[in-house]
């Protein structure tokens, strides 16, 4: 039995109900959706997997491929990154970790095979090995008002800042941006099951929808198949959540990303919104404006989840000019209206002066 299947079997002993190889819920999805707002929750992350990057040239290779400065990734710090085409369009988004001398890229399981295939094209003579590590490196999420205290009772040290990491008992604990304290706990099977059993008392167990909902509230995007090559990283607000370095060297799409930063003005950005819709919005669904007659729409849904209060909460990349009019709708120009809500961070729109070369 593979490690992934062992983990799935373990989660089934905890009440997990699977659909399409991910945990849909642990018995009562409505209870879980209500719990993520204000209670302590343990969230399944089987919808996400890992690519391991190892070898003497792993750092240099990733530095030449991703949007952020990989030199800053260590056992004490993780990092958001985009992987782009030469035209600056995002193929995938990762959280990058360093653990036991290897790098791990966390992304949706559905995007792993295509991403490895693309990255492999650029390995050439480099001493780099790319592998789907989902079967040996596992993770779950912990969030809630008492999440920090729960971890402090279990681990000798826990990270204090967003994106920071700490290693303890063969686990990697990472603090994740959010409106409430939340952490990703990652490691191998034995260590992870032990951590789950330690933390599960007096928490609500949630399917992967719980973590996705918390990502939406935190304004953290994800790229699924429907949105591959649709967005430049700034459209996803990555410049506002430490997902881009404008001081590092070249990588695919770097010229486009830098030109937008130093010479342009952002015309599209990602918004947090609510829709009182009976039809579930999905990644890639179009958003329209009553003031725009084009069939292409004025934006696209990035990700969406049912709201505990009814309707759906979502992240969507929209044309700023139309978004500010307040007349934006899902699916069609007269579809369900979107109500825009405040993100937990500011999004810079104006260009920045390019530093003088020395």
Do 190 and 65 sit in the same domain of this protein?
yes
Do 181 and 280 sit in the same domain of this protein?
no
| CA-only gyration radius of the chain, Å | 20
Lowest model confidence (mean pLDDT) among 208-217, 280-289, 323-332, 349-358: 349-358
Q: At which of 201, 229, 257 does a domain end? A: 229
Q: At which of 229, 256, 289 does a domain end? A: 229
Measured distance CA(48)–CA(22) in Å, rounded: 9
pLDDT category of residue 358 using cuts at 50, 70 and 90 = very low
What residues make up the domain containing 318?
A: 265-341
pLDDT category of residue 107 using cuts at 50, 70 and 90 = very high
Do 2 and 140 sit in the same domain of this protein?
yes
Do 224 and 97 sit in the same domain of this protein?
yes
pLDDT given for residue 234 in this prediction: 96
User: Does residue 184 belong to any structural domain of this protein?
Assistant: yes
CATH of the domain at 328: 2.40.30.110
- Please, are residues 108 and 48 in contact by the beta-carbon 8 Å criterion? yes
pLDDT tens profile 262-308: 877 789 999 999 999 989 999 999 999 988 777 789 999 999 999 99
pLDDT given for residue 293 in this prediction: 74
Do 77 and 153 sit in the same domain of this protein?
yes
CATH of the domain at 171: 3.30.1360.120
Do 55 and 188 sit in the same domain of this protein?
yes
**φ, ψ of residue 332 in degrees (nearest 5):** -160, 165
| Average pLDDT of the residues in 94-100 | 96
User: Does residue 257 belong to any structural domain of this protein?
Assistant: no
Measured distance CA(213)–CA(47) in Å, rounded: 13
User: Does residue 197 belong to any structural domain of this protein?
Assistant: yes
Do 86 and 171 sit in the same domain of this protein?
yes
Tell whether the model's pLDDT for residue 175 goes beyond 70: yes
pLDDT category of residue 312 using cuts at 50, 70 and 90 = very high
Measured distance CA(354)–CA(318) in Å, rounded: 26
| Average pLDDT of the residues in 57-85 | 97
Tell whether the model's pLDDT for residue 314 goes beyond 80: yes
| Average pLDDT of the residues in 114-131 | 95
Tell whether the model's pLDDT for residue 178 goes beyond 80: yes
Q: Which residue's entry shows tokens 């966390």?
A: 106
pLDDT tens profile 14-23: 999 999 889 9
Do 139 and 213 sit in the same domain of this protein?
yes
User: Does residue 181 belong to any structural domain of this protein?
Assistant: yes
Residue 138 in tokens: 């596992």
pLDDT given for residue 355 in this prediction: 52
Measured distance CA(54)–CA(100) in Å, rounded: 10
User: Does residue 269 belong to any structural domain of this protein?
Assistant: yes
Do 63 and 126 sit in the same domain of this protein?
yes
Tell whether the model's pLDDT for residue 160 goes beyond 60: yes
pLDDT given for residue 266 in this prediction: 84
Tell whether the model's pLDDT for residue 250 goes beyond 70: yes
The alpha carbon dihedral of 196, 199, 202, 203 has a sign of: negative
Sheet holding 268-275, edge to edge: 328-330, 286-289, 299-306, 312-319, 268-275, 338-341
Do 137 and 279 sit in the same domain of this protein?
no
Q: At which of 229, 252, 282 does a domain end? A: 229
User: Does residue 240 belong to any structural domain of this protein?
Assistant: no
Number of domain units in the chain: 2
pLDDT given for residue 354 in this prediction: 56
Tell whether the model's pLDDT for residue 356 goes beyond 80: no
Using a pLDDT cut of 70, give the percent of the chain over it: 97
Average pLDDT, the chain: 94
Do 297 and 212 sit in the same domain of this protein?
no
User: Does residue 248 belong to any structural domain of this protein?
Assistant: no
CA angle (295 as vertex; 290, 297 as ends), nearest 5 = 60
User: Does residue 286 belong to any structural domain of this protein?
Assistant: yes
Do 152 and 204 sit in the same domain of this protein?
yes
């Amino acid at each position: 039995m593979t490690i992934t299947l062992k983990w799935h079997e373990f989660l089934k002993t905890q009440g997990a109900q699977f659909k399409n190889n991910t945990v849909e819920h642990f018995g009562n999805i409505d209870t879980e959706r209500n719990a993520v707002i204000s209670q302590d929750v343990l969230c399944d992350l089987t919808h996400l997997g890992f690519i391991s990057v190892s070898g003497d040239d792993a750092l240099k290779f990733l530095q030449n491929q991703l949007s952020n400065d990989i030199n800053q990734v260590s056992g004490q710090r993780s990092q958001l990154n985009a992987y782009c085409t030469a035209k600056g369009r995002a193929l995938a988004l990762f959280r990058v970790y360093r653990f036991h001398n290897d790098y791990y890229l966390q992304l949706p399981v559905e995007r792993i095979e295509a991403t490895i295939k693309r990255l492999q094209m650029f390995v050439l003579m480099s001493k780099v090995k790319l592998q789907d590590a989902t079967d040996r490196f596992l993770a779950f999420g912990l969030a809630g008002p008492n999440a920090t205290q729960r971890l402090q009772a279990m681990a000798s040290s826990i990270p204090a800042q967003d994106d920071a990491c700490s290693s303890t008992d063969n686990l990697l604990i990472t603090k994740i941006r959010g409106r409430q304290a939340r952490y990703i706990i990652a490691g191998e099977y034995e260590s992870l099951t032990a951590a789950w059993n330690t933390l599960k008392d007096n928490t609500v167990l949630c399917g992967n929808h719980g973590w996705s909902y918390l990502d939406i509230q935190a304004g953290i995007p994800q790229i699924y198949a429907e949105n591959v090559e649709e967005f430049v990283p700034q459209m996803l607000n990555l410049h506002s959540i430490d997902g881009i370095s404008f001081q590092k060297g070249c990588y695919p799409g770097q010229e486009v990303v830098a030109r937008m930063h130093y010479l342009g003005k952002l015309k599209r950005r990602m918004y947090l919104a609510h829709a009182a819709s009976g039809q579930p919005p999905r990644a890639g669904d179009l958003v329209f404006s009553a003031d725009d007659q084009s069939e292409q729409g004025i934006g696209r849904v990035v990700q969406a989840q049912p709201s505990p209060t009814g309707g759906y909460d979502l992240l969507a990349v929209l044309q700023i000019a139309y978004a500010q009019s307040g007349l934006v709708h899902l699916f069609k120009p007269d579809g369900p209206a979107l109500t825009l809500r405040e993100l937990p961070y500011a999004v810079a729109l104006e260009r920045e002066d390019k530093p003088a070369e020395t």
